[in-house]
């Protein structure tokens, strides 16, 4: 997979998986509202099967997002975060803009995501609520990572 890098001042956004710090990624995701208790193995497997975007301040990873996509018609944006210490610098907005401008993710018919608390961020980038939510369906297992840990 090709690598896409964008630099802004002291910050880098990169799709280079070799740069990912899974300690940072797992540490955040395992405490997030959307993937509580997720295992390090699942975080790594999800990254391996997605287009990943790391945000770096120097050599330190400070943010992350991944895109699940066929890179032709559809993409789902997931696991978007900036660590607490780096918030308030416009990094999440820059991250989403960078993702949407990535050359090998152009021409897609549909982008989707789910969020409880960041609607303002995504509306700025062109995301809107579902026009007709009745045509969408799901299988939802919100506690699957917690159940896996108990076994």
Query: For 93-106, what is each residue's pLDDT tens digit?
Result: 999 999 999 999 99
**Domain encompassing residue 94:** 5-150
- For residue 147, the model assigns a pLDDT of 67
CATH number of residue 25's parent domain:
3.40.630.30
| Alpha-carbon distances of 117 from 34, 65, 87, 124, 135, rounded to whole Å | 11, 16, 15, 14, 23
- For residue 13, the model assigns a pLDDT of 98
Bridge partner list, 78:
66
Number of C-beta neighbours around residue 12 at 10 A: 19
The total domain count for the chain is: 1
- For residue 34, the model assigns a pLDDT of 93
CA distance 5 to 16: 8
Give the distance from CA 48 to its chain's centroid: 13
Determine which of 3-7, 53-57, 142-146 has the lowest per-residue pLDDT on average. 142-146
Largest interatomic CA distance in the chain: 46
Work out the pLDDT band at 149, boundaries 50, 70, 90. Answer: low
Query: For 57-92, what is each residue's pLDDT tens digit?
Result: 999 999 999 999 999 999 999 999 999 999 999 999
Query: For 24-35, what is each residue's pLDDT tens digit?
Result: 999 999 999 999
């Amino acid at each position: 997979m090709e690598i896409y890098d964008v630099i802004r001042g002291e910050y880098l956004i990169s799709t280079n998986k070799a740069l990912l710090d899974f300690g940072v990624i797992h540490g955040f995701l395992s405490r997030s509202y959307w993937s509580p208790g997720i295992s390090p193995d699942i975080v790594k497997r999800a990254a391996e099967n997605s287009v990943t975007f790391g945000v770096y301040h120097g050599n330190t990873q400070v943010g992350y997002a991944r895109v699940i996509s066929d890179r032709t018609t559809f993409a789902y944006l997931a696991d978007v975060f900036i660590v607490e210490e780096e918030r308030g610098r416009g990094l999440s907005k820059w991250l989403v803009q960078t993702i949407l401008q990535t050359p090998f993710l152009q021409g897609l018919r549909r982008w989707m995501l789910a969020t409880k608390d960041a609607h303002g961020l995504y509306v700025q980038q062109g995301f809107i609520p579902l026009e007709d939510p009745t045509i969408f369906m799901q299988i939802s297992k919100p506690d699957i990572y917690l159940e896996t840990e108990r076994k």
